[in-house]
């Protein structure tokens, strides 16, 4: 490098040929030519007007010396440092290029040669080297923007083989005048972009797992929807995650057993294996279900937890199905290759498994909704017909009382009416069961009270709301409830009881035709013992019916308005008092 006329010019380099080549970096090549006129005959002189151009020339050609005019000295020193650091730039994973205003490559660290499979990219258009990539933004003219604004800008490029590059372009500031050169860095972001695309695809797949239009849902029963969900899980696991061996198990929260929902590629013995959510002796699946932690088995031959699943499996990956922080099952995949699963596979499967858990929960909600709807429909129908059927029973026993001993055929027909009327209730309940999906559990499930199941209860009260409430409350727990308006009607019902007596009779202490004590005395003439419960308002006992009834053997009293727990406990008390078998159940 050298100086202008005020200083003695310095030449860098050595004379390596018969006619050495000198690179002149100056604003005015004519002046440089006059300065080196004496060398013109014996040297080849090449003049450029900027250090950047000089760098491009030095990259393409060999020179024996370089002359730099004073006005370019600072920039030349920067470029000299760049040349000295070229080895460092060559080792960078990112591409670094120097471009002119026409997007031609003046210098490159060689990474673009590697990506484009070219021996050299110097002098070529940047975009052409990358095969005219699609510019995805955010800046769709990054080089033009950087030169025009003097600010750095970024964009993403996509080339034909589905590779992606992140581009950052920054202008090289000139001493005077507009920017004419750019330094661009290029980073291969294919892996990152493809992972983002895969995550988006997994999210989309998760939303579609159990998604159906109302029209499709209307034509599918629960079993068909389960099969659709299993099919979708298998489809996305194979096509999106590229796992061929799949096992999904669901956790029974009551027993801790892990039931197989889906098994593809597993040995039949493995799919049928009984597993529980326990960290020992239940394989990787039991461990994951018990701890809620994912498990990567890199080599099945060395892993003490692994139990044989797929034939010749060498590695496996198991993640929990988690919903609202609760483990509801496990998702297991296996491979015939050891160490086949990476951290990214674990991440993808965990994300997908969350969507699977949500889809399974939606299915459970659907089952519960259908069960609840069926139960509500059954209850609505039953409530609508319960009292009218009681009216039929009441009228039938009244008529039958007139014909007993006179018209056996009429009595037989009336008894058939009584049986058929009682059967209507049972038919409604059976139909309600068929309306609910298999294994469905209603969202609101009555507490199990075994002492009440199948018990026949007669409720005697003039108040329709009391009779209706008795049906609604007791039948929820399996009781068979019938009602009567007054004492005489109740006596007829007891006398006409088909094959077995009532287990419990609940009556108001003040019936339209008799007092509670009198009703008890009439019952004692028909049945012994009398499983009677008298109902009364608090402190209300006209004629001391309760006192007299207690002296005659009355076992229980209900105070109106009674609470559900009191009603149930009182009925259970009477059942245990008069039924020895029920006493054993209660114990």
Q: What would the pLDDT profile of 297-350 be if each residue is shown by its tens digit?
A: 999 999 999 999 988 899 999 999 988 888 989 999 999 999 998 888 888 888
| 24-38, 251-265, 388-402: least confident range | 24-38
CB 534 within 8 A of CB 507: yes
The more confident residue out of 228 and 263 is 263
Whether 66 has a pLDDT exceeding 90, the answer reads no
- Asked whether 528 and 503 are in contact (CB, 8 A), the reply is no
Residue 424, beta-bridge partner list: none
In this structure, how many other beta carbons lie within 10 angstroms of the beta carbon of residue 277?
Answer: 25
Whether the pLDDT of residue 402 is over 60: the answer is: yes
pLDDT-based confidence at residue 68 (cuts at 50, 70, 90) = low
Name the β-bridge partners of 560. 537
Determine what percent of the chain is predicted with pLDDT higher than 70. 73
pLDDT for 539-559, tens place per residue?
Answer: 556 667 788 888 888 889 888
Parallel, antiparallel or unpaired: strands 275-276 and 257-264: antiparallel
d(CA 522, CA 509): 14
- DSSP calls for 124-173: SBHHHHTTSPEEEEE-SSHHHHHHHHSS-EEEEEEETTTEEEEEEEEEEP
Residue 73 scores a pLDDT above 60: yes
Q: What is the mean pLDDT of residues 103-107?
A: 86
Q: Two tokens at 46?
A: 């090449």
CA angle 543–541–458, rounded 5-degree value: 100
Percent of the chain with pLDDT over 90: 25
Per-residue pLDDT, 216: 57
Tell me the mean pLDDT in the region 501-521.
92
* Helix, strand or coil, per DSSP, at residue 552: coil
Mean pLDDT in residue range 65-87 = 60
- Supply the pLDDT for residue 491: 93
Most confident of 71-85, 127-141, 228-242, 397-411: 127-141
Q: Is 276 helix (H, G, I), strand (E, B) or coil?
A: strand
pLDDT at 89 (0 to 100): 58
Closest by Cα among 126, 167, 158, 352 to 241: 352
C-beta neighbour count of 515 within 10 angstroms: 21
Cα–Cα distances (Å) from 521 to 54, 63, 493, 550, 551, in that order, read 126, 132, 16, 12, 12
Q: Which one-letter DSSP state was computed for residue 29?
A: H
Dist CA 522 CA 493 (whole Å)? 13
**Where does the pLDDT of residue 29 fall: very low under 50, low under 70, confident under 90, or very high at 90 and above?**
low
pLDDT for residue 285 is more than 80: yes
All domains in the chain, ordered by first residue: 1-84 (3.40.190), 92-188 (3.30.450.20), 200-369 (3.30.450.40), 446-587 (3.40.50.2300)
Burial environment of residue 93 by CB neighbours within 10 A (0 to 12, 13 to 18, 19 or more): exposed
Q: State the sign of the Cα–Cα–Cα–Cα dihedral 580, 583, 585, 587.
A: negative
> Does the pLDDT at position 5 exceed 60?
no
pLDDT at 501: 81
For 122-161, write each residue's pLDDT tens digit: 888 999 988 889 998 898 999 999 888 888 899 999 988 7
DSSP 48-84: ESSHHHHHHHHHHS--SEEEE-GGGHHHHHHHHHHHH
Between residues 488 and 228, the one the model is more confident about: 488
Task: Count Cα atoms within 13 angstroms, Cβ side, for 62.
Answer: 7
pLDDT higher than threshold 70 for residue 370: no
What integer pLDDT is reported at residue 229 of this predicted model?
A: 76
Taking the alpha carbons of 328, 333, 339, 342 in that order, is the dihedral positive or negative? negative
Predicted local confidence at residue 377, as pLDDT: 57
Angle at 583 between CA 580 and CA 586, to 5 degrees: 160
Considering only the C-alpha atoms of the chain, give the largest distance between any 2 of them, rounded to a whole number of Å: 155
Q: Do β-strands 326-335 and 295-297 pair in parallel, antiparallel, or remain unpaired?
A: unpaired
Buried b (16+ CB within 10 A) or exposed e, 227-236: ebbbebbbeb
- The string of pLDDT tens digits covering residues 438-486 is 444 444 455 778 899 889 999 999 998 888 888 888 888 888 899 999 9
Tokens at 205, concatenated: 């797949």
Tell which residue, 168, 143, 164, 140, has the closest CA to residue 154.
168
pLDDT score of 438: 46
Laid out side by side, the sheet with 532-537 consists of: 480-484, 456-460, 504-508, 532-537, 556-560
Q: Provide long-range contacts, Cβ within 8 A and 24+ apart, for 170-177.
A: 170/146, 171/146, 171/147, 172/52, 172/98, 174/50, 175/71, 175/72, 175/74, 175/75
Which residues are 187's β-sheet partners? 166
Res. 36: pLDDT tops 60: yes
């Amino acid at each position: 490098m050298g100086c202008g006329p005020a200083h003695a010019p310095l030449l860098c380099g050595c004379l390596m040929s018969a006619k050495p080549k000198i690179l002149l970096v100056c604003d005015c090549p004519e002046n440089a030519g006059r300065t080196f006129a004496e060398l013109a005959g014996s040297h080849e002189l090449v003049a450029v007007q900027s250090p950047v151009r000089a760098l491009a020339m030095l990259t393409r050609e060999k020179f024996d010396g370089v002359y730099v005019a004073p006005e370019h000295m600072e920039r030349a020193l920067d470029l000299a440092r760049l040349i000295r650091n070229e080895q460092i730039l060559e080792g960078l994973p990112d591409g670094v290029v120097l471009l002119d205003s026409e997007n031609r490559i003046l210098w490159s660290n060689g990474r673009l040669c590697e990506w484009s499979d070219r021996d050299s990219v110097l002098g070529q258009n940047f975009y052409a080297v990358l095969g005219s990539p699609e510019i995805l933004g955010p800046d769709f003219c990054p080089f033009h923007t950087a030169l025009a604004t003097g600010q750095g800008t970024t964009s993403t490029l996509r080339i034909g083989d589905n590779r992606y590059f992140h581009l950052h372009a920054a202008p090289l500031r000139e001493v005077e005048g507009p920017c004419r050169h750019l330094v661009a860095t290029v980073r291969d972001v294919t892996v990152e972009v493809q992972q983002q695309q895969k995550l988006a695809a997994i999210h989309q797949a998760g939303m579609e797992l159990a998604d159906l239009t109302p029209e499709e849902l209307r034509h599918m029963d629960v079993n068909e929807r389960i099969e659709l969900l299993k099919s979708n899980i298998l489809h996305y696991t194979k096509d999106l995650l590229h796992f061929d061996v799949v096992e999904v198990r669901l956790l029974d929260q009551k027993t801790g057993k892990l039931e197989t929902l889906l098994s593809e590629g597993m040995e039949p013995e493995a799919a049928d294996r009984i597993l529980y959510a326990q960290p020992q002796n239940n394989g990787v699946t039991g461990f994951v279900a018990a701890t809620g932690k994912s498990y990567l088995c890199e080599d099945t031959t060395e892993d003490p937890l692994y139990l044989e699943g797929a034939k010749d499996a060498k590695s496996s990956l198991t993640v929990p199905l988690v919903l609202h922080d609760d483990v509801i099952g496990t998702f297991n995949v296996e491979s015939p290759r050891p160490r086949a699963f990476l951290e990214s596979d674990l991440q993808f499967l965990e994300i997908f498994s969350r969507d699977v858990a949500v889809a399974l929960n939606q299915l459970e909600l659907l089952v519960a909704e259908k069960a609840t709807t069926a139960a509500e429909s059954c209850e609505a129908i039953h409530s609508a017909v319960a009292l009218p059927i009681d009216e039929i029973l009441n009228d039938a026993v009244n008529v039958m009382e007139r014909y007993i001993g006179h018209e056996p055929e009429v009595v037989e027909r009336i008894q058939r009416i009584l049986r058929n009327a009682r059967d209507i209730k049972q038919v409604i309940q059976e139909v309600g069961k068929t309306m609910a999906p298999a294994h469905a559990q209603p969202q609101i499930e009555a507490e199990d009270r075994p002492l009440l199941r199948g018990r026949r209860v007669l409720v005697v009260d003039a108040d329709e709301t009391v009779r209706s409430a008795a049906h609604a409350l007791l039948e929820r727990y399996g009781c068979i409830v019938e009602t009567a308006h007054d004492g005489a009607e109740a006596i007829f019902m007891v006398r006409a009881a088909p094959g077995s007596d009532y287990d419990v009779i609940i009556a108001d202490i003040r019936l339209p035709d008799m007092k509670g004590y009198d009703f008890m005395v009439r019952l004692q003439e028909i049945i012994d013992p009398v499983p009677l419960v008298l109902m009364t308002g608090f402190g209300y006992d006209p004629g001391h019916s309760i006192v007299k009834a207690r002296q005659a053997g009355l076992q229980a009293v209900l105070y109106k308005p009674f609470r559900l727990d009191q009603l149930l406990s009182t009925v259970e008390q009477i059942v245990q008092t008069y039924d020895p078998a029920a006493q054993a159940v209660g114990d």
